[in-house]
Amino acid sequence: MARDNKREFCRRELLRTAAAAAGAGWAAPNLCLGAAGGERLMTRKLGRTRFDVTTLGLGGQGSLQWTPADVKPEQIIVKAVELGVNYFDTSNVYGSSQMHYGKAFRALHLIPGTAGYDEKRRRSIFLASKTLLRPAKGTAPKGVNSWTQGPPGSTAVDDLRRTLSLIFGDGKGNYPRGAYVDLFQLHDVKALAEIDALWTGLDKPDPKAPLIGAVAALRDYRDGTNLTGLNPKEEKLIRHIGFSGHFSAPMLMEVMQRDKDNLLETMLVVINANDRLHLNQQYNSLPVAAAKGLGVIAMKVFADGAMYTKEANWTRRPEQVVRTVGSPSLPSRSLVQYTVSTPGVSTAIIGIGHIDGNPQRCQLCQNLSAAQIQPGSLSQSDRRAIEQQTAKVKDGHTNWFQAPAQPLTPPREPAVAQEVRDRQRMARITWHTAYAGDEPIRRYEIRRDGRKVGQVEHRPQTSKTPFSFEETVPDQAAHTYELLTVDAAGRTATTEKLTVPATG
């Protein structure tokens, strides 16, 4: 069977079975599919971007970065586009990945200003890249993550232009008029010093300042302004700004809480079936992202191959790229479904090691098929069963890129103050969000002198404004207060005692 006929055959078969499966809340069998003939893959809104993304996106690593000798990576990109995938991921630290996109985009007529430019198809694709550089001007403070494959002294703005040149231009710094990136992300944020550097100069932009953070400059390149002095041509080179993280859920929560202007519209984050074995994202950062209206892109579905044949560390060589589909003991399908059905996830990006004319051996086809599932389709027992399977892989030590597990924490930064108001003695207790363990947080309880006097339902903390509770104190004596976090399993974590002195 010819390649195109085989693709059309598997597409029709999956769409036929997917229609029957959709009503039952589970995904179709292991077949391939595509968008030919007017049929469409499942899509979801990517948060405030309002773009409808397919539930599977193409990751920028796998064979796009670590390319085996017998693989033509641009063919992976072209096939993904032809099958209807519309979210595409790459980065300034992914080796030749952006160059491979350039080759594929030329084959697909996606380069502005060239003969046959397909503007409609370009608008249908959501292209995302990233930078690890924190300053847009100046040198990053000591200890701040700052890595690029560009020349020494590069900034986040240089990385943005590098992306455009590698994908749409000549690879030497030039790019055509009309080129843009849909999403540019602040990659792998994991420390307070990095967040401080990223936000430097945002509130009061000063072109003369020696250090300007990436956020202020990217706002200029999104809006076509020149508040920082770093966008003199007032170009609009990006549509949206996002961020990503592997290690620390608390740091990702801090990023979102710091973003009082709601400049960030997406979060790229680790979500796989071993998430709850670590300081997890699904009960910590994901609820905050949902409350702020961010689109969530999940990554590391297979733990960079560690769920299968690869050792549990970063891929460094082409021979480490996993090129098979799952394993008999751990089907890849269930891992994809776990991630894609996690509440709050818009799409999952997966790097592809191998495409094949036989849909059963094609990673792209199999992952795309598995991703045709609605949010929340898996029951709690289904999710726990998948977690039990993956916990056996490498004794559960697959997510080396994620912070170790910690138990439920007490409310953070608790404080109590008192005042006399309308001749009544009032006590005001404040605190910042606790961090969840392996179950979500339900509420906070307030105790005075060991007795419960109130409670506040937990909600995602989306800003630096703390939670608060007030009560009328019935006398003038000294009192002690404690705050408790209560999770869905009924477990508690308690602060140290806070004392208010007598007022008599």
pLDDT given at position 30: 47
Residue 278 DSSP one-character state: B
Domains of the chain: 3-396 (3.20.20.100), 412-500 (2.60.40.10)
- pLDDT band at residue 148 under the 50/70/90 scheme: confident
Q: Taking all residues of the chain, what is their mean pLDDT, rounded to a whole number?
A: 92
What is the DSSP code string of 145-184? Answer: ----SS-TT--HHHHHHHHHHHHHS-SSS---TT--EEEE
pLDDT given at position 39: 62
pLDDT given at position 457: 98
pLDDT tens sequence across 336-356: 999 999 999 999 999 999 999
Residue 280 DSSP one-character state: -
pLDDT given at position 13: 41
pLDDT given at position 26: 38
pLDDT given at position 144: 81
C-alpha span between 169 and 150 (Å, rounded): 16
Assign 242 to helix, strand or coil.
strand
pLDDT tens sequence across 292-313: 999 999 999 999 999 999 999 9
pLDDT tens sequence across 169-182: 999 999 999 999 99
pLDDT given at position 344: 95
pLDDT given at position 284: 98
Residues making up the chain, counted from first to last = 504
What does the pLDDT average to over 22-38?
45
In this model, does residue 18 exceed pLDDT 60?
no
pLDDT tens sequence across 82-137: 999 999 999 999 999 999 999 999 999 999 999 999 999 999 999 999 999 999 99
pLDDT given at position 9: 42
Long-range contacts of 21-26 (CB under 8 A, 24+ apart): 21/372, 22/372, 22/374, 25/373, 25/374, 25/377, 26/337, 26/373, 26/377
C-alpha span between 275 and 343 (Å, rounded): 14
Q: What are the φ/ψ torsions at residue 214 (nearest 5 degrees)? A: -65, -35
